[in-house]
Amino acid sequence: MASITLKHIQKVYPGGVKVIEDLNLEIQDREFIVLVGPSGCGKSTTLRMIAGLEEVSGGELYIGDRLVNEVVPKERDIAMVFQNYALYPHMTVYKNMAFALKLRKTDKALIDQKVHEAARILDIEHLLNRKPRALSGGQRQRVALGRAMVRDPKVFLLDEPLSNLDAKLRTQMRTEITKLHKRLQTTFVYVTHDQTEAMTMGDRIVVMKEGVIQQVDTPQNLYDAPCNLFVAGFIGSPQMNFMDAQVRLRDGKYVVALGPYELPVSPEKQAALEGYDGKNVTLGIRPEDFHAEGALLADGDCIVEMQVDIAELMGADTYFHGVCAGTQLNVRAPSHIHAPAGSLLRLAVDCKKMHLFDQESQQAILN
């Protein structure tokens, strides 16, 4: 169990390619932190630096209170789960799991006990004598987790561990890893490019892009108050709708003009728009913040109309894709709402959940 501190971390590859320029991050003890971002954003590199598999080009990296910049992986007391499992193909599951303990000259009886305990938790006891090639993807992933578990490491590092699994298994393993974290009470650092995994698993999420941390926060806060356009677009599925809009002053109050519509801004958020009168901004509204029924629609304050192109029935919900004020929109509505292609759908916008972004800096103006 340990915290991890990254101070002004840099990573420059030979040839001068800067992957990470100045990364600062505090990971708390026993925290489940998820590094998320599109491929090439430096999340895996960051994880590999924590593991000691990549050299740190600059800055300071602490595990607990110990500066580990120059410490080799085996002395960092970390365990890592790899995307392709990286099980030793010539060893049985038992030997795979026992390997690290053997190297530590752990007592044989204790090794046996630990391996069996981990295998029991992961439900792979019956596979202990098999070789990895005789296992399915899900089973291999469990073995990889087991191999990490038996060592009681200070830190668990997981590098896209679920991306080689099929969708159903992924969902199942997701909950299992979360449970495992609760059970082990260890620091978990988890890398993924899948925002759903990030949202469902992390205590906190680190959103990265091009080697720069965009925002670090709890899943809820990231979802409710993304700090910029990138985070707003990356977190949430289906994606947030972005529309070109303009801030205007009407009777001493700011409104957001979207094509022919003027959407009011709630009184407590008025101050944030100071100085934006007449400026173009990007308006962000999540698909579920449009309402095709209920009190908001009855109020009649923030009504827009969308020409429906396609309705996709997902079961509990229906996704409507269409055009409103010249922009493509995705709207999520309960499945009992029907609107055939070509029809007009009246929607109330939940103005309290409107997001506005500066078009130049792409930073959030109000959330």
Partner 1 sequence: MSHMQMTTKERVLCVLKYLFLALCVFVALFPIIWVIMSSFKTNAEILSNGVALPKTPSLTGYRNALTISPILNYFGHSIIITTVSTVLNVLFLAMAAYVFARCRFRGRDVLYFILSLAMVIPMTALLHPVYSVIQALGLYDTKTGLILVYTALNLPMSLLILRGTFLSIPRALEEAAYVDGAGFVRTFFQIMLPCAKGGLTSAAVLAFLQSWNEFTFALVLTSGQDARTLPLSLSYFTAQFSFDYPAMFAAVTIAVIPSIIVFAVFQEQVVSSLTAGSVKE
| Residue ranges in contact with partner 1 by CB under 8 A | 14, 51-53, 72-74, 78-80, 82-84, 86-90, 99-100, 103-104, 147, 151
Parallel, antiparallel, or unpaired for β 187-192 and 32-36? parallel
Residues whose CB falls within 8 Å of the CB of residue 175, separated by 6 or more in sequence, listed in order: none
| Cα distances (angstroms) measured from residue 131 to each of 5, 30, 127, 163 | 38, 33, 8, 22
Token digits of residue 58? 């600059």
For residue 53, the minimal CB distance to partner 1 (Å) is 5
Q: Which is nearer to partner 1, 135 or 324 (CB)?
A: 135
**Residue nearer to partner 1 on the CB measure, 129 or 237:** 129
In the β-sheet with 4-13, what is the strand arrangement from edge to edge?
Answer: 17-27, 4-13, 58-63, 66-67
Kindly state the smallest distance separating residue 174's Cβ from partner 1, in Å.
21
- CB-nearer residue toward partner 1: 43 or 291: 43
* Residue with Cβ nearer partner 1 (52 or 202): 52
**Residue 184: CB minimum distance to partner 1, A:** 17
Residue 119 C-beta: closest distance to partner 1, Å: 17
Q: Of 74 and 126, which CB lies nearer to partner 1 in the complex structure?
A: 74
Structure tokens at 148: 């990490």
Contacts for 305 with CB less than 8 Å, ≥ 6 apart: 324, 344, 345, 346, 347
Distances (CA, A) of 35 to 47, 106, 220: 8, 33, 16
Output 75 or 277, the one with its CB closest to partner 1.
75
How far apart, in Å, do the first and last CA atoms of the chain sit?
36
Look at residue 19 and give its three-state secondary structure.
strand
Cβ-count burial of 126 within 10 angstroms (0-12 exposed, 13-18 middle, 19+ buried)? exposed
Nearest distance in Å: CB 303, partner 1: 55
